[in-house]
Structure 1
Amino acid sequence: MRPLEADEPRAIGPYRLLGRLGSGGMGRVYLARSEGGRTVAVKAVHPHFALDEEFRARFRREVDSARRVGGRWTAPVLDADPDAPVPWIATGYVAGPSLTQAVTAHGPLPERSVRVLGAGLAEALAAVHAHGLVHRDVKPSNVLLALDGPRLIDFGIARALDGTASLTSTGVSVGSPGYMSPEQILGKAGGAGVTGASDVFSLGAVLAYAATGTAPFSGDSSAALLYKVVHEEPELDPALTGPLRDTVAACLAKDPA
């Protein structure tokens, strides 16, 4: 967590901000405390999105849907204000590092841990998809490792950005190169629908990273990564073997069916 900078708010809605947890294409995430003393994570979208009424409408719909997705493997939506001058959403705070932080600090996870991780994320995605949502940004930094199991964060909200952000907008993308599915990439140009199968592709890429410390697609630029995802087979590390390798390869099939 980083201290708040001079130009950052000290409170969002009823939540007092304690520090900044991170930032991304959609906005900034803060550690905050409710009036009752509960610790939460509050995400405030970038101000330029607030000027787009279409974005606000999508954000409102996605928040309403995401509220219904609870369960053991996700961070529940606790509060939100899509109509605020800067729209925001508050979720339960998960005390644990992201998968990216854990692998960077300690190396790849043991095979058994990868299996537990995969089972938890699959259950989380099943809950998301059951409510008609598609995550669209399943990646290592959106997986938090809590003491009682993994948590998938930012589910559903990514879809509110679709049509507002683009792959070429400065600092903004709906999805992350190297973890996006082929149909998600092609859909930006061709308008193809993206279903829950897209998240399964991303799940395979995340598990490959967890097991080996490397993503299944590599490149020197976003364009190179996107090309490889669409046109080339994944580069699976030899350390990934047996049934786990078979499962990852099946998730990374180009055909969403």
Structure 2
Amino acid sequence: MSGRFYRGELASYFEVDKLKRGKQGRVYLAKDQENENVVIKMSKRRFVPITTSSIELSKKINSQVPTSIDSIITEKEVLKTVTHPNIVKLRDTGVKDELPFIVTEYIQGPDLENVLNFYKTTLKKPRLPAQLCTKIGYDICKALEEVHSKGLYHGDVKPSNIVMQGKSSKLIDFGSSGQTDKAYEHYTGTPHFSAPEHIMGCPSAQSDIYSLGITLYTLLSGNTPFIGPALFVVQKQLTDEIPNIREHNSRVKPELSEIISKATRKRISERYESAEEMAEDLQAHLEVEEEELPLFDFEAEEREAVDKITRRFDYEVLKHQTYF
């Protein structure tokens, strides 16, 4: 598979290595014509041109469940619409072997799922520092502001869809995105991070806020609020309140705990009205100015270890990221 060429609408790319293979498609590391790293995400199923016959075929096989092609096309359209420093950049699009693909910037850094695992396994720390989590939350709120301003929602905010790059965080994987004014028949999110209304088919901007709140809860406690099989978690998300984060991490200040609690209320009317409002509270909670914030807020020997592994976060680590 390695060594294939991809001709996009704007440029050509040379495949270097396979990064990830999932249910919905494949992700490759590639080089552009300037020899810079890019990421190519490609659907698995063959691309069928939209014609009368293909629509009839779709009806016959009852193919209303989103496919990998739907995911790639959705991500392409969303990334064409949104532009923000905290959102992965779309570089190009194309079709190869009747399969649509997108080309995005290559982000040299770990996703938060990997960061949390690194804390647990290498540093023997059960969770991330609160100050770092607050900064991450602020960055993603700013990204969501841009998404929501276009009448869209992300649909799958979670640690593996947030990548750290230096002192900043970037939101990736928009394959589950949609319009905030539409109801959807099929659920495409991740149960452990999904709001009740999202699970029920009515995702909104406030659903992303809920998911971000669960993400911060996970980073600060080391685990999601509800642990178990998907169906069990779905039932819990629909009926049970999220436990107070201070029950699992007493170092979290009451102000930050309240931010997470407000973001994860079951009733939409009781949550933050916007990502901007949540960002304001997170910004107020930061104890130092952004430019003075260390990359990882803990002891010098631990910071040195993280700096080393961060420098090694080239495509070897990117292989373990979850894109689908």
Q: Normalized against structure 1, the TM-score is what?
A: 0.82
Residue 148 of structure 1 pairs with residue 167 of structure 2? yes
Shift of the 103–228 alpha-carbon distance from structure 1 to 2, 3 Å rule, reads same
- Whole-angstrom distance in 2 between the partners of 1:57 and 1:233: 33
- Deviation string 1:128-174 (CA, Å, 9 cap, x unpaired) is 1112221101111001011131110013x3237x999955xxxxxx1
- Residue 256 of structure 1: CA displacement? 2.0
> Is the 1:66–1:77 contact (alpha carbons within 8 Å) kept by the matching residues of 2?
yes
Moved more, 113-122 or 29-38: 29-38
- Whole-angstrom distance in 2 between the partners of 1:141 and 1:165: 25
> Is the 1:67–1:78 contact (alpha carbons within 8 Å) kept by the matching residues of 2?
no
Aligned to 2:234: 226
1:1-257 to 2 correspondences below 5 Å: 6=1, 10-13=4-7, 14-47=12-45, 50-51=47-48, 53=50, 60=73, 63-81=76-94, 85-107=98-120, 108-155=127-174, 157-159=175-177, 166=186, 174-187=188-201, 193-219=202-228, 221-235=229-243, 236=245, 237-239=247-249, 240-257=252-269
SS at match of 2:110: coil
- Whole-angstrom distance in 2 between the partners of 1:40 and 1:20: 12
> Is the 1:59–1:82 contact (alpha carbons within 8 Å) kept by the matching residues of 2?
no
Q: Normalized against structure 2, the TM-score is what?
A: 0.66
- Deviation string 1:57-113 (CA, Å, 9 cap, x unpaired) is 785465234223122111111111269611111111110011000100114211110
Larger Rg: 2
- Tell me how large the CA RMSD over aligned residues is: 2.7
- Residue 227 of structure 1: CA displacement? 0.8
Identical amino acids, percent of aligned pairs = 26
- Deviation string 1:147-202 (CA, Å, 9 cap, x unpaired) is 131110013x3237x999955xxxxxx11120111111111xxxxx3211110010
Aligned length: 236
- Whole-angstrom distance in 1 between the partners of 2:34 and 2:103: 14
Q: Which runs of 5+ in 2 are unaligned?
A: 56-66, 121-126, 270-324
- The structure whose RCO (Cα within 8 Å, separation 6+) is larger is 2
